[in-house]
Amino acid sequence: MTRRGNGVHAWAAAWLLAMVLAAGLALPAGAQELTIWTFWSEEWLRPALDAFEAAHPGVKVIHEQLTWENGLDKITVAIAARNGPDVMELGSTWMPQFMGAGALAPIDVGELAEDLTGLDAVTRSGQTYGLPWFGTANVVYYNKELFRRAGIEAVPTTWDELLEASRRIDALGPDIYGYSIKIGGRFTTWQKFYPFVWSNGGRTLNDDWTRAEVTEPPFVEALAFYQELAQSSLVGTQEEVRQAFYLGKVGMIFDGTLNLEQDAPGLEYGMFLLPAPAGKESVVFSGADYLVVWSGSKHQELAGELAKALVRGNLISNRLPSLISFSRSDQAELLQTFPESAIFIEAMANATHPPMHPAWEEIATAVTEAVEGLLLGQFRSPEEALAYAEAMIEPLL
């Protein structure tokens, strides 16, 4: 993706406006400009933006597409310079730092409260600071041919069955792996590991965020299982394990947005929900993107109306069906057009997210180092690895 503007362009626009005013010219009376920054093509959003402008005469919406590589940095710098957009898109793991810094204005959710899920995570003292736009929940993709060769007749539904299936596929040959465990990267390790913790009833912090709970039995048991599963898995970066799955070398991969028709044509695959311990429910990570209003906006109320106008209509889901709208009505419509989205909607129904703690990035880094350290032999046991994580987390609370 490319970006339409940058800091230099913003400076140039400000300079040009000053020159226009100095020359005695003026903007049309009553005209208002709203700026919005998202990570998506304006082509995808323009129909909704045009409809908003038509419903609000005299308002012009200026959209800028950010890049995934430096979008967060651009937003952070702009807000620090008091030059932020009126509306912007933030990932769920970014929300705590912006909420904690007072950078977001509350939004009057109004009638959307009955239709949108995911509002609780960004509601504080009765004020809502972001509208959940879309999210995704990972599912397990599996290679049907490798399942047949290993004599596996049904997809796993429990941890024991998952481990057994992984071992049977791994036994097919030296270059075949049962499962795949992703490590490396800023988010990959903890996002793929935490569903095992949550499905086992574990959590990172206590209710009032004063104490870490990463050394409690549910968390330790999840990491111990992960270590055992790794013995029959391909452990590598996201790109490495995806390529291996595309080539038919991996039986199962826990992922979200795979385009297998393009990247692995001819691969016979299926999907199932990540298994949980016997008697428990599968709880996966719901990566969500929010539309928020900058607290420095001069048009906060109107900006909130723009955010509300965009969160419904499947603007993203119609292009990428695995990115599910948080609108219940949108989900129903999406199923009519893309029936294959049903499993992602099912996964999202019981999905969760990390605590919205301002220091979450540092907390996640501690857990990542514990998980990777154990899998790579730097720690002798799950208990030792998580004691290390706890020692890093406690000073942050």
| Least confident span in 13-17, 118-122, 138-142, 262-266 | 13-17
| Least confident span in 162-166, 180-184, 199-203, 348-352 | 348-352
Give the mean pLDDT of 111-133. Answer: 92
pLDDT of the residue at 7: 38
Q: For residues 342 and 350, what is the distance between their CA atoms, to the nearest angstrom?
A: 13
Look at residue 21 and tell me whether its pLDDT is greater than 70: no
* DSSP 8-state class, residue 250: B
Give the mean pLDDT of 70-81. Answer: 94
pLDDT of the residue at 47: 95
Q: For residues 328 and 312, what is the distance between their CA atoms, to the nearest angstrom?
A: 9
Look at residue 78 and tell me whether its pLDDT is greater than 80: yes
Q: For residues 252 and 367, what is the distance between their CA atoms, to the nearest angstrom?
A: 24
Token pair 């912090």 is at which residue?
A: 205
Look at residue 67 and tell me whether its pLDDT is greater than 80: yes
The tokens describing 311, both together, are 């969160």
pLDDT band at 92 (very low <50, low <70, confident <90, very high): confident
Evaluate whether 374 touches 382 at the Cβ level (below 8 Å).
yes
The tokens describing 237, both together, are 């970066």
CA atoms within 13 A on the CB side of 56: 20
Evaluate whether 166 touches 251 at the Cβ level (below 8 Å).
yes
pLDDT band at 10 (very low <50, low <70, confident <90, very high): very low
Phi, psi torsion values for 27, nearest 5 degrees: -70, 155
Closest to 102 measured CA to CA, from 133, 127, 136: 127
Q: For residues 65 and 243, what is the distance between their CA atoms, to the nearest angstrom?
A: 29
Q: For residues 36 and 297, what is the distance between their CA atoms, to the nearest angstrom?
A: 11
State which H helix or E strand residue 144 sits in.
helix 144-149
pTM of the model as a whole: 0.79
* DSSP 8-state class, residue 299: T
Q: For residues 392 and 368, what is the distance between their CA atoms, to the nearest angstrom?
A: 11
More confident of the two residues 308 and 14: 308
Token pair 């009126």 is at which residue?
A: 86
* DSSP 8-state class, residue 351: -
Please report the domains of the chain, with CATH numbers, ordered by start residue.
7-134+288-338 (3.40.190.10), 139-284+359-396 (3.40.190.10)
pLDDT of the residue at 298: 95
Give the model confidence (pLDDT) of 212-270 as tens digits: 999 999 999 999 999 999 999 999 999 999 999 999 999 999 998 788 999 999 999 99
Which residues does residue 105 pair with via DSSP β-bridges, in sequence order?
Answer: 293
176-185 residues labelled b (16+ CB within 10 A) or e (exposed): bbbbbbbbee
Q: For residues 397 and 386, what is the distance between their CA atoms, to the nearest angstrom?
A: 16
Give the burial class of 301: count Cβ atoms within 10 A of its Cβ; 0-12 exposed, 13-18 middle, 19 or more buried: exposed
Look at residue 284 and tell me whether its pLDDT is greater than 90: yes
Look at residue 79 and tell me whether its pLDDT is greater than 90: yes
Give the mean pLDDT of 108-118. Answer: 92
Q: For residues 377 and 370, what is the distance between their CA atoms, to the nearest angstrom?
A: 11
Amino acid at 288: A
Length of the chain: 397
Evaluate whether 132 touches 327 at the Cβ level (below 8 Å).
no
Q: What is the mean pLDDT of the chain?
A: 90
Calculate the CA dihedral of residues 373, 379, 382, 388 and round it to 10 degrees: -80
Q: For residues 26 and 371, what is the distance between their CA atoms, to the nearest angstrom?
A: 59
Give the model confidence (pLDDT) of 179-212 as tens digits: 999 999 878 999 999 999 999 999 999 999 999 9
Evaluate whether 261 touches 251 at the Cβ level (below 8 Å).
no
Rg (CA), the chain: 23
215 CB-near residues (< 8 Å, 6+ apart) = 383, 386, 387, 390
Closest to 182 measured CA to CA, from 115, 242, 223: 242
Q: For residues 183 and 369, what is the distance between their CA atoms, to the nearest angstrom?
A: 10
Look at residue 312 and tell me whether its pLDDT is greater than 60: yes
| CA dist 81 → 16, 67, 84, 93, 99 (Å) | 19, 20, 8, 22, 17
Q: For residues 40 and 321, what is the distance between their CA atoms, to the nearest angstrom?
A: 15
